[in-house]
Amino acid sequence: MNRKYRKTVIAGNWKMNMLPSQVKGFAEELKNISPKAKWCETVICAPYVDLPAAVKAFKDLRISVGAENLNENPKGAFTGEVSSAMLCDLGVKYVILGHSERRQYYGETDAGVNRKVLVALEAGLTPIVCVGESLEQREMGITLEHIALQVKSALYGVPAEKVRRVVIAYEPIWAIGTGKTATAQQAGEVCSAIRNVIRELYGARVARSVTIQYGGSMNEKNAAELLAQPDIDGGLIGGASLVPEKFAAIIAAANQE
């Protein structure tokens, strides 16, 4: 983390796991044990149907709410889809874009992620853009090239004054939901490389202001070590964000003096 130059953001990614009727209970449990988040912004990203309950329940906890996807069109005949304006209207502040599960199971492409980033920024949402390599790519030694391509495509056409609002989440695919975390050094290295890509595109001042998270089996045990890396400014947390005690412990790790 480097709190002088950029925000630390701890974001939960509930994926397809929490029922709308369970949201209030989760928030109450978290409220009882959650440390004061003096140094970090805390976010819960939830399925669309959970969002109204989440916005209401997390308001007193000063936790922002995010969606897990959006449609790239402003409005119209797109049955089953949800627009950026709808999310904003509910009080949603963040949106996860290009998560590897969406790239893998729903055919999301770098170009599609870019269109969603532009739409999210236009609406005033903060996109959390996910990038990450597969195990094969890591073994082939092409991790950094692959990630640079994903970052450059996601940010294509994003002006410098808006890129400061983008959060990048580095999530090695082999570490997601597997219990295999990247070592702090591996994660730190890729996050530094991501900052270098942003520096190439936008210059040093912008690059140092962008929040870069690590995600992939981050938990209450490994969070402090990962967050101690200078270029890791937070986490995108799946499994551990469903358990109030674990999520609270990660928030505490991000708020150590």
Which positions touch ligand PGA (CB under 6 A)? Answer: 13, 171, 176-177, 215-218, 236-240
Report in angstroms how near the CB of residue 175 gets to ligand PGA at its nearest.
Answer: 6
SS3 state of residue 166: coil
Residue whose CB is nearest to ligand PGA in the complex, by number: 238
Q: With 0-12 CB in 10 A as exposed, 13-18 as middle and 19+ as buried, what is 109?
A: exposed
SS3 state of residue 228: coil
> In which residue are the tokens 């369970």 written?
22
- For residue 242, what are the CA distances in angstroms to 5, 23, 44, 166, 251? 30, 10, 10, 24, 13
**Catalytic residue (one of 41, 68, 72, 99):** 99
- Of 73 and 104, nearer to ligand PGA (C-beta) is 104
Q: What are phi and psi of 230, to 5 degrees?
A: -60, -30
- Of 128 and 252, nearer to ligand PGA (C-beta) is 128
Report in angstroms how near the CB of residue 72 gets to ligand PGA at its nearest.
Answer: 21
- Of 127 and 239, nearer to ligand PGA (C-beta) is 239
Report in angstroms how near the CB of residue 41 gets to ligand PGA at its nearest.
Answer: 17
- Of 137 and 202, nearer to ligand PGA (C-beta) is 137
CA–CA distance, 147 with 160 (Å, rounded to integer): 20
Contact (CB, 8 A) for 196 and 238: no
Beta bridge partners of 67: 95
Report in angstroms how near the CB of residue 163 gets to ligand PGA at its nearest.
Answer: 22
- For the question of residue 99 being annotated catalytic, the response is yes
Catalytic residues: 99, 171
